């Protein structure tokens, strides 16, 4: 019984921990832009959070174990995304101003979320 409780707790932490950065993005956008833009960002972030929860609930891991090709495609795509983000972080210079770029297009909002 305690084994399942610990596994559930660890899974909950692993699921909730990455959401913190998305919340910061939503808050920064709400502070630095108009209501319509803030609602777009918030609803896009909610959509991606709910889709992640549904994928976890309906057993995306089970599908990935059953279909090796799907697993390789997802891992390769994730690997490319992490490498790209890492390169962009290395090449960027930190900004000292606390301004938020509120002039992003909807596709840029989706990519950022």
pTM of the model: 0.52
- The burial of 103, by beta-carbon neighbours within 10 Å (0-12 exposed, 13-18 middle, 19 or more buried), is given as exposed
Residue 98: the pLDDT is 55
pLDDT (tens place) for every residue of the chain, 113 residues total: 888 888 888 877 776 666 667 777 787 888 888 888 888 888 888 898 888 888 877 888 888 888 899 889 988 998 998 888 888 878 877 665 655 565 777 777 777 76
CA distance 52 to 46: 10
Q: At 31, is the secondary structure helix, strand, or coil?
A: helix
DSSP string, 59-92: THHHHHHH-HHHHHHHHHHHHHHHHHHHHHHHH-
Q: Where are the domains of the chain?
A: 1-58, 59-94
40, 109 Cβ separation under 8 angstroms: yes
DSSP 18: T
């Amino acid at each position: 019984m305690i084994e399942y409780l610990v596994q559930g707790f660890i899974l909950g932490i692993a699921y909730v921990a990455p959401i913190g950065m998305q919340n910061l993005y939503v808050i920064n956008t709400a502070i630095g832009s108009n209501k319509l833009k803030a609602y777009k960002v918030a609803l896009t972030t909610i959509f991606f959070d709910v889709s992640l929860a549904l994928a976890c609930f309906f057993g995306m891991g089970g599908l990935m174990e059953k279909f090796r090709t799907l697993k390789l495609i997802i891992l390769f795509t994730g690997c490319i995304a992490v490498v790209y983000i890492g390169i962009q972080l290395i090449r960027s210079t930190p900004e000292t101003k606390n301004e938020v770029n509120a002039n992003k297009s909807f596709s840029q909002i989706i990519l950022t979320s």
